[in-house]
Amino acid sequence: MKRHSLGTAAVFLGLLAGCGSTPNSTNRLAHEDTKAEISRLEQLEVRAVVARDAATLERLWGMQYVVNNPNNQIILAKPDPLDRPVLRQSRISFDREIEHITVLDDLAISMGSETVVPGADSLSSGKTARRRYTNIWRKFDGQWKLVARHANEICER
């Protein structure tokens, strides 16, 4: 009788474990798909900033997009992306390395580092800026939008 009970318990626990793994696996796959999408959008934003592509930036940035920038300024959303100081100057290069993306339902948080070499018309011309950044994305009506960003310069030691 004990063997039958143990066998039944083992089958029951196996079924429970199996039932639990399907949603988790599906959830994990969805998160991996979301991480891949956020990574693609992060790099699209970099290319749009370099190219001063206002149409792409308008598609990527949410209506209430807010930035805490490396110059210790909080910049609220503006109707024209090219009104942002960072986009009024030319850039030689802008590279972003994504180190981690966290997905929480309709929210995604991307963190990593950036290297920016300002253009000749910048006060910082010729100085390579290394930054740490955090970007926060939110899904609205099936579209991921960048809603908040924080970036700070890495101090040289």
**pTM of the shown model:** 0.76
pLDDT for 91 equals 63
Confidence of residue 9 (pLDDT cuts 50, 70, 90): very low
The proportion of the chain whose per-residue pLDDT surpasses 70, expressed as a percent, equals 70
Confidence of residue 118 (pLDDT cuts 50, 70, 90): confident
Please work out, in degrees rounded to the nearest 5, the angle formed at the alpha carbon of residue 74 by the alpha carbons of 71 and 77: 125
Which of 3.90.950.20, 3.10.450.50, 1.10.3730.10, 1.20.1050.10 would CATH assign to domain 2-153?
3.10.450.50
Report the C-alpha gap between 60 and 77 in whole angstroms. Answer: 12
Report the C-alpha gap between 80 and 87 in whole angstroms. Answer: 10
pLDDT for 13 equals 38
Report the C-alpha gap between 38 and 83 in whole angstroms. Answer: 25
Residue 156 has pLDDT above 50, yes or no: yes
Which residues are CB-neighbours of 45 under 8 A, at least 6 positions away? 56, 57, 60, 146
The lowest-confidence range among 72-81, 113-122, 131-140 is 72-81
Residue 5 dihedral angles phi and psi, to the nearest 5°? -65, -40
